[in-house]
Amino acid sequence: MKIPGRPTLADVAARAGVSLKTASRALNGEYGVAQATAERVLRASKDLGFRPNHLARSLASRRPSAAVGLVVSSVADPFFAALAGAVEEVLAPRDLQLVIASHGDDENRQRRIIRTLIERRVDALLLVPAPGDCGHLRREVDLGLVVTGLDRPPTGLEVDTVTVDNCAGAFEATRRFLRAGHRRIAFLANDSRLWTIQQRHDGYLSALRESGVTCDPTLIHQNCSDAAASERVVARMLRLPHPPTALFAAQHLIGRGAIRALLGVTDPPAMASMDEIADTDLLALRPFVVESGPVRMGRAAASMALERLDGLTGQARAVVLPPFFRNVEDDLRSNRGPGMPATSRMPVSSPLTQSERS
C-alpha cells in the first residue's frame, strides 16, 4: 500500500493519463505538447496539489533537502536576527541548512515565499506569520510538512507554536507606572494588525482598568511606521495641554524613536519598552525593559520542529514563555551593558508553561 505523502510527478502523469516525460514537458511549458494534453496535465497538477521540486531539476538525487525554512518579518531587525541565530545554532549539529526570508508583514509576499520554499522541498518551516490567514498551509501540513509558528500563532492553522505572554508583559510594565503614581500613560506601537501588538495593547488596557484609570485615546498610537514616526508622535504628545508622564513602547524600534524624542527634555516622562534598547547614545534615559527573549524563543521553536522531524506525532503544542523585566539603570550600576546576560531577572510566571492548544 502506498504511504500517503506529497504528490509526485508520477502521480500527476497517472492522473492525466500521460507519460512522465510528457507531464514534465507540459508543466515546464516546453514546445511540442498538445494544448488539450497540457491543460489536462495542469488540471491534474492543481487537483493533486503538486509542487515542482526545483532541487530535483538540478540534482538527480532522492536525498532529502536537509534544509529548514525560516520566514520572519525582517532579517534586518535585531530581534529577528537574534532569533535566526538561535535557530541556526540548534539546527547546525544535525547538518540542516537554514534558509531565511523576510515577508515585511505582507500576507501575499509571505505566500510567495512559502510557495518557493515548499517547491524547494524544505523539511520544515519555522514561521513568524504576517497578518492574515495561514489556512492555505493545512494541505501542506497534511502532506507531511513540519510547520512551527513562533512569536505569533499562525491564524487558521493548528501547529506547534512558541510565543511570549505579551499581555502579561505589557500589564506589568503599565502597572509599575500606575503604582509609581502615573495616570497619563502613553501606548506606542508599530502595527495594530500584529498579534503581538494586540496582546500588548490588551495588557496595557487591563492594567488601566484594574486601577480605575480612564483610557485617553490621544495617548494611544498603534501604527507608527518606524522609529522616526515614533519620534514625531512623542514630540507632538509632549506639546499636549496635559502630556503623558509615562510612555510604554510596545515594540523596540518604536521605543528607540520615543527615547530620541525625550533626549534633552528637562523633565522627561518615565519610559518602558519591549525588548532591547542597545543604542549607546540612548542610555541616558535608562528605560525599563520588558524582554521577550528571541534567543530562547528560537531555540524552543527549532527544537520542537526537530522533534516532529524525528517522528513525534500528536496534537499541536503551544509553548508560552514568560517575559522578563529589567532596568537599564540597574545594568549600568552593575557595569552590565544592554544585551549582556542578566544575573537575575524576574519572570512574570513560571519559567516555562506548555499546554496543548484547544
| Residue 38 CB partners (closer than 8 Å, separation 6+) | 26
Say whether both 23 and 75 belong to one domain: no
Say whether both 184 and 207 belong to one domain: yes
User: Is 186 part of any domain?
Assistant: yes
Phi, psi of 91 (to 5 degrees): -80, -30
Total domains present in the chain? 3
**Mean pLDDT, residues 198-214 taken together:** 97
Render the burial of 237-272: b for 16+ CB within 10 Å, e for the rest.
bbeeeebbbbbbbbbbbbbbbbbbbbeeeeebbbbb
User: pLDDT tens-digit profile of 45-104?
Assistant: 888 887 665 444 433 334 445 899 999 999 999 999 999 999 999 999 888 899 999 999
Task: CATH number of the domain at 152, please.
Answer: 3.40.50.2300
Q: Where in the sequence is the domain holding 271, given as residue range(s)? A: 166-291
User: Is 55 part of any domain?
Assistant: no
Say whether both 209 and 254 belong to one domain: yes
Say whether both 123 and 107 belong to one domain: yes
40: cell is 489536462
pTM, full prediction: 0.76
Phi, psi of 23 (to 5 degrees): -60, -45
Say whether both 237 and 307 belong to one domain: no
Say whether both 280 and 301 belong to one domain: no
User: pLDDT tens-digit profile of 141-198?
Assistant: 988 899 999 999 999 999 999 999 999 999 999 999 999 999 999 999 999 999 999 9
User: Is 59 part of any domain?
Assistant: no
How many other CB atoms sit within 10 Å of the CB of residue 47? 12
Say whether both 147 and 171 belong to one domain: no
The domain boundary, picked from 291, 313, 334, lies at: 291
Report the alpha-carbon distance of residue 269 to residue 292 in Å, rounded: 23
User: Is 2 part of any domain?
Assistant: no
270-274 β-sheet, strand order: 220-221, 185-188, 246-249, 270-274, 288-291, 324-327, 346-347
Say whether both 174 and 262 belong to one domain: yes
- For cell 511549458, the residue is 29
In angstroms, what CA-CA distances link 235 with 222, 251, 263, 316?
16, 18, 11, 45
Report the alpha-carbon distance of residue 301 to residue 324 in Å, rounded: 19
